[in-house]
Amino acid sequence: MKILALRLANLASLPGPLALDFTASPLRDAGLFAITGPTGAGKSTLLDALCLALYGGTPRLRHAPVRDAQLPDVGQETLTTSDPRTLLRRGTASGYAEVDFLGRDGRRYRARWAVRRAREKAGGKLQKVEQSLTDLEDDRLLTAQKREFDRLLPERLGLTFEQFTRAVLLAQSEFATFLKADDNERSDLLEKLTDTAEYSEISMAAYRRASDAKRRVEALEARLADDLPAEPEARAELERAAEATQQALTDLQKRTASLQAEQRWHDEDDRLRANVQRGQAELHAAEQAWQALTAAREDQAWRRVILPQRHRLRRQAELPGELRALEANLEKTQRALTDAESAQEQAKRASEAAERTLAEATEARRKAEPELREARELAQRLASHDQQLAELERTHGERRRRADVLAEQRRQADEAHGRRRERRDRWHAALQRLIGDHDDLDAARQAAQRAHDAAAQRRLGLGELHGRWQEACRADQSHQALKTRLTDNEKRLEALLARGQAARQRLDDTERHLSSIQAFVERSRAVRSESVIRLREGLTDGEPCPVCGGLEHPWRHRPPASPEAAQLAAQQAEEDRQLAEAQDQRDRAYQQRYDIEGEYRALKASVIQQREDLGNADRQRAEAHRALDAHPLQPELSDIATEERDAWLGHQRQLSETRRTEHRRALDELAQAEAELAPLNQALHQDEIDLARLGSQQSELEQELAGLAERLPPLHQAREALAADLRTRLGEHASPDAWQQHLDARQESARRARDTAQAKHHEAQREHQRLAQQAVHEAERLEALRRERDTLEAELAEWRQAHPELDDAMLARLQAQSDDEAERQRQQLEDADQALQQTTATLAERRQALIAHRRDQELAEAGDSEPALLEASVEAEIARRREALNGEREALAPRLNAAQQARDEAAHALRDDDRRRQRQRDAQAELEAARAEHRRWGRISELIGSADGKLFRRIAQAYNLEQLLEHANVHLAGLSRRYRLIRGGSELGLLVVDRDMGDERRSVHSLSGGETFLVSLALALGLASMASGELTIESLFIDEGFGSLDPQSLALAMEALDGLQAQGRRVGVISHVQEMHERIPVQIRVEPLGNGTSQARLVSG
């Protein structure tokens, strides 16, 4: 893994954009470089940007307070203190961090983190963070989704966030503290550095699992004792009772079934008897309906008689109407034939007249042809003259408009020339005013530039002075705040020490109380067990028990399996409760002491750190005041009262800015005047040339217009003569074409009139022929109908004589009926016959069904016929039997319910005992499983379990410490072959083996500053190796840890760093130590500019 480039903009104090390319000179050639700058300038922001681009977070923010801590943003918006977007610089609309890196697969990638505000405005609401990962080898975007980014980045880079912060961002300063700590503090630091907190949780989880398993066993044992099944004798009695009640219920159920069968016979008999009664009523109704249709049956008989003559009768009725209609049509046709003869003669006369009119029009057109040709020639000559006149007039108009345009252009050019001359004169006067007392324009410009530069330089100096003044004020405030916080924490430390002593005393009291209760319970249980045995041995058959008074002693010779669980459960439960309460009090006291100790250690470490911070603050305050005193404008500031200095600095900077602006304006005016005059002079010269050209073009146009005016009058005269001759020849016609069209239209109109008259004549002839044929056809049809009428009347008269009883009224009535009415009447008769037959058959079937149902019931005498089963005496016997059946069923119902209840109670008692037996078997299996679980977790808890988690945590930390020392010794051998680290002195103790002193074992407290740096650096590199595994880390960053080194130790540290870069690694050192800056030529300098802004620049040499 290798970092190739870092880019950022608008993060914390760095506005950017800033780009650091580690593949370009000088960073490419530098194995060691420094990130320098005063405290608070923004050096660590570079590392924050590195983590942001790769993981979307920073170590400092991930250890920030919980989400409840809020920071104000724009408007009513707030952010949590752990939100990475808080790194966006105030007053900016967007920011980003971008890292190019070489992945574990040898490919180059780019990770980008960006945030912006709504509408790209500094006052907009913060939007969601945008993260993307790009493969630079083929410029391919891999993902722009956060979840996918979080998955892909560790795969391509080879490190998770925690591994990256240990393997790339080396915690060398934390290992310096780790070396000098005692076992407890070293345990806390080792847990923080190697992330072994989970081992504490595992240890406590094992302890809890063992405790839970023990309680589970005890609960199951108690459940077994409280839920015993029935004894064998009681079980046999339950089974006998269940069997007896079931048999009694079965007997009653059989009798009930027999009675139900009898009831079903009576129900069926009632249904069949009702069917017979319903059939009798239906037959009576069908007979009445059949009798009501007697007249319809007579009509149906006569209708069959009339049916063969029906078509003759219908034709006889139709013929009189047809004869009358045909006679009327024949008369109408004869009248139309007479009218057609008259129309034919009129059409013939009109056709002859139209033919004469066409001949006259053709002759008139032939005579007009010569005069028409002469008129056309005159019209063509007139059109030629009109075209010449139009062309001359168009040319004259164009030349006149062009002359007007040239006159307007010359006028506008004169006006523009005058305006430019006035503007030239104004700028020339302004330039002379700006030059003033100077010799020339260059001298005036140089003087204005010198004044502008002096004002700008003073403004910059005042800005730097203001920054140093604010830095000194902040250093004073920080020093005072640290001093106050240190005093408060020292007081809290004393109070915590007193609380810790009180907690230890409470823990001792609760442990003594728990021990006394445990001893009391053990003695009580031992005494109870012994006394019970003695009482059991003294029992005598026939004599009362001294405890319960019973005369029988079943447990004298065979005691119960668990007498204490059955008889002394209440007392043991109370003892267990007291034990649990005492243990809980002891655990709470222990936890309170543990919490106070943790708080004490944390506060003590904080006090130590604050003392160190106070020393650093002293040095920073001194440095800030030295820098302020060294500023050239400090004498002016020192004359101003302290409380007025901020206002004075602001006023002076504003005054300098006003002067700089005025001189800048003068320079701009000089440049503008010089820039305006040159083009104005050139434009005036060009105006004079344009005016002369426009005058020449105007004279030429005036001469051409005069020539055109002389040619127009002769052409107008010739045109008027031609027009008069043409009007004379055309007469009333507008043109030769109009004359030609008039003649053609007259001839065509005559031809159309002739054709129309001929067509009417032919149509009249055809209509006359058609009407003559129609009259003949209608006369023949009339004669045929008259013959048909006479024949039909003779045939019908003969048929009526054969049926004298059929009078005219009946015949008319039958003929008046429609076919539909006749069909409905026929269908009604058929339905009535069918209904009568069907009801008769149905009644017979129902009688037979009722007889068959009663045949086997012995309801009649043996010699009686089957119809006797329908008599009234049989009905009375059936009613008597039904009444007896109902009485027996009513008497049997309560007995059946009682038997069912007895059977259910006996079965329930038996099932209840079955369930208790099954619960006993299940609980016994659970108990065995719970005991196995308790044995397993008990063994695990004995090995690693503890209530506070210390046991397994110390085991894991000892193992991790061994691994850390192995890796650290590999790196320490490369830095200095003199020393080797081993465990010793205590469980987590450290010793140094000095090979130059015959492998003498020394305390780590005996190491010098440089040696301590070497060893702590080796430990940091060892942790990096543990975190990265087999992945090669080519980029390292070491944050601080050099401030306390003397010159000799610093030289040793530099040799160690040179050794790291000799191993092919690029090492970045973050430090504000001046000596480090002088020893490392390639530096990224972070310099504060004031107002919370810094700039980062790359320097070499």
Question: 947-994, pLDDT tens digit by residue?
Answer: 877 777 778 778 888 888 888 888 788 777 888 888 887 777 888 888
φ, ψ for residue 19, nearest 5 deg: -130, 125
What's the mean pLDDT in 212-238? 80
Q: Average pLDDT for residues 639-645, to the nearest whole number?
A: 80
34 contacts 1076 by C-beta, under 8 angstroms: yes
Q: Are 698 and 407 in contact (CB under 8 A)?
A: yes
Half-sphere exposure of 9 (CA within 13 A, CB side): 10
Query: Band of the pLDDT at 862, cuts 50, 70, 90?
Result: very low
Alpha carbons 155 and 38: distance in angstroms, whole number: 37
Mean pLDDT lowest among 292-301, 433-442, 457-466, 987-996: 433-442
Question: Which residue, of 809, 833, 855, is where some domain finishes?
Answer: 809
The pLDDT value given to residue 700: 80
Highest mean pLDDT among 236-245, 506-515, 640-649: 236-245
Q: Which two tokens stand for residue 200?
A: 């504490």
What is the sign, positive or negative, of the torsion defined by CA atoms of 83, 84, 88, 90?
A: positive
206 within 8 A of 221, measured Cβ to Cβ: no
427 inside domain: no
Please report, rounded to a whole number, the percentage of residues in the chain having pLDDT higher than 70.
88
The residue written with tokens 């009234």 in the block is 872
Residue 998 lies in a domain: no
Residue 1043 above 70 pLDDT? Answer: no
Domain termination site, one of 785, 809, 833 = 809
Q: Indicate the helix (H) or strand (E) that contains 715.
A: helix 645-730
Q: Show the 3-state SS of 525-593.
A: HHHHHHHHHHHHHCCCCCCCCCCCCCCCCCCCCCCCCCHHHHHCHHHHHHHHHHHHHHHHHHHHHHHHH
Domain boundary among 809, 840, 857: 809
CA–CA gap between residue 335 and residue 341 (Å, rounded): 10
Contact 333/775 with Cβ under 8 angstroms? Answer: yes
pLDDT, tens digit (0-9, with 9 covering 90-100), for 756-785? 888 888 888 888 888 888 888 888 888 888
Q: Following CA atoms 587, 588, 590, 592 in sequence, which dihedral angle do they give, to the nearest 10 degrees?
A: 160
Work out whether strand 70-72 and strand 78-80 pair parallel, antiparallel, or are unpaired.
Answer: antiparallel
Cis ω on the peptide bond leading into residue 26 (within 30° of 0)?
Answer: yes
Q: Examine residue 796 and state whether it is found in any structural domain, yes or no.
A: yes
Residues 6+ apart with CB under 8 A from 780: none
Q: Name the burial class of residue 758, with classes exposed (0-12), middle (13-18) and buried (19+) by CB atoms within 10 angstroms of its CB.
A: middle
> How do residues 314-361 score in pLDDT, each as one tens digit?
777 787 888 888 888 888 888 888 888 888 788 888 888 888 888 887
Query: How many Å apart are CA 13 and CA 105, to the nearest integer?
Result: 35
First to last CA, the chain: 28
Residue range 94-106: mean pLDDT, rounded: 93
| CB neighbourhood size of 10 (10 A) | 22
Instruction: List the beta bridge partners of residue 1070.
Output: 35, 1039
Residue 799: domain span? 308-367+738-809
AA letter at 359: A
Cβ-in-10-Å burial (0-12, 13-18, 19+) of 164 comes to buried
Q: Tokens standing for 917?
A: 């037996």
H-helix or E-strand spanning residue 116: strand 108-116
Q: State the helix-helix crossing angle for 369-435 and 441-537, rounded to 10 degrees.
A: 90
Q: What is the mean pLDDT of the chain?
A: 79
Q: How far apart (Å, rounded) are the C-alpha atoms in residues 82 and 61?
A: 5
Q: How far apart are CA 49 and CA 98, in angstroms?
A: 8
- Residue 437 in this model has a pLDDT that exceeds 80: no
Q: Is the distance from CB of 486 to CB of 614 less than 8 angstroms?
A: yes
Q: In the structure, what pLDDT confidence band is assigned to residue 549 with cuts at 50, 70 and 90?
A: very low
> How deeply is 971 buried, as exposed, middle or buried, from its count of CB atoms within 10 A (0-12, 13-18, 19+)?
buried
Asked whether the predicted pLDDT for residue 1028 surpasses 90, the reply is no
Token readout for 837 is 């037959």
Query: Helix or strand or coil: residue 772?
Result: helix
Indicate left, alpha or beta for 865 from its phi (over 0: left) and psi (-120 to 50: alpha). Answer: beta
Residue 32's domain is classified under what CATH number?
3.40.50.300
What pLDDT, in 10s, does the model give residues 703-740? 777 777 777 777 777 777 777 777 777 777 777 777 77
The two beta strands, 94-102 and 2-9, are antiparallel
Q: Does residue 15 lie within any of the structural domains?
A: yes
Residue 639, classed as helix, strand or coil, is coil
Q: Is the pLDDT of residue 151 over 90?
A: yes
pLDDT given at position 224: 74
Tell me, what's the pLDDT at 231? 81
Whether the CB-CB separation of 859 and 851 falls below 8 Å is answered with no
Euclidean distance between CA atoms 651 and 644, whole angstroms:
11
Weakest-pLDDT range from 277-281, 362-366, 432-436, 580-584:
432-436
State the pLDDT confidence band at 411, using cuts at 50, 70 and 90.
confident
725 located within any domain = no
* 529: pLDDT strictly greater than 60: no
Task: Write out the two tokens for 637.
Answer: 């500031």
Do residues 466 and 1090 lie in contact, with contact meaning Cβ atoms separated by under 8 Å? Answer: yes
**Phi/psi zone of residue 181: left (φ > 0), alpha (ψ -120 to 50 degrees), beta?**
beta
pLDDT at position 277 over 90: no
Question: How far is the C-alpha of 230 from the C-alpha of 910, rounded, in Å?
Answer: 10
Per the structure block, which two tokens stand in for 824?
Answer: 């409905």
- The one-letter code for the residue type at 907 is A
Name the pLDDT band for 363 (thresholds 50, 70, 90): confident
What is the distance between the alpha carbons of residues 346 and 340, in angstroms, rounded to a whole number?
10
Residue found under tokens 């944050």: 1039
pLDDT score at 766: 85
CA distances from 377 to 372, 554, 721, 732, 1011 (A): 9, 163, 14, 18, 130
| Cα–Cα distance measured from residue 134 to residue 143, given in angstroms and rounded to the nearest whole number | 7
DSSP SS3 for 1086: strand
How many structural domains compose the chain?
A: 2
* Residue 806 main-chain phi, psi, to 5 deg: -85, 95
* Angstrom distance (rounded) from CA 33 to CA 20: 12
Phi, psi of 38 (to 5 degrees): -65, 165
- pLDDT of 562: 42
In a domain, 263, yes or no: no
Question: Is residue 1093 classed as helix, strand or coil in its secondary structure?
Answer: strand
State residue 110's pLDDT score: 95
Helix 569-630 × helix 441-537 angle, to 10°: 160
Q: Count Cβ atoms within 10 A of the Cβ of residue 19 and give its class: 0-12 exposed, 13-18 middle, 19 or more buried.
A: middle
- Over residues 607-614, the mean pLDDT reads 81
pLDDT for 1058 equals 77
Residue 201 to residue 197: CA distance in whole angstroms:
7
Residue 7 CA to residue 599 CA, distance in Å, equals 41
Buried b (16+ CB within 10 A) or exposed e, 65-82: eeeeeeeebeeeeebbeb
The full DSSP string for 458-479 is: HHHHHHHHHHHHHHHHHHHHHH
pLDDT in the model for residue 632: 82
Structure tokens at 76: 């009513």
Identify whether 669 is part of a domain. no
Q: What pLDDT score was predicted for residue 175?
A: 62
Cα–Cα distance, 547 to 525 (Å, whole number): 18
Structural domain includes residue 560 = no
Predicted local confidence at residue 115, as pLDDT = 93
CA dihedral 373, 379, 381, 386 (to 10 degrees): -170
Amino acid symbol at 81:
T
Here the CATH number for the domain that contains residue 746 is 1.10.287
Higher pLDDT, 547 or 909: 909
Cα Dmax for the chain: 178
Helix axes 183-194, 950-975, angle to 10 degrees: 80
Give the tens place of pLDDT for each residue, 393-407.
788 788 788 888 888
Q: Could you read off the pLDDT of 17-53 as tens digits, one per residue?
A: 889 999 988 888 888 898 988 888 888 899 999 999 9
Residue 554 has a pLDDT of: 58
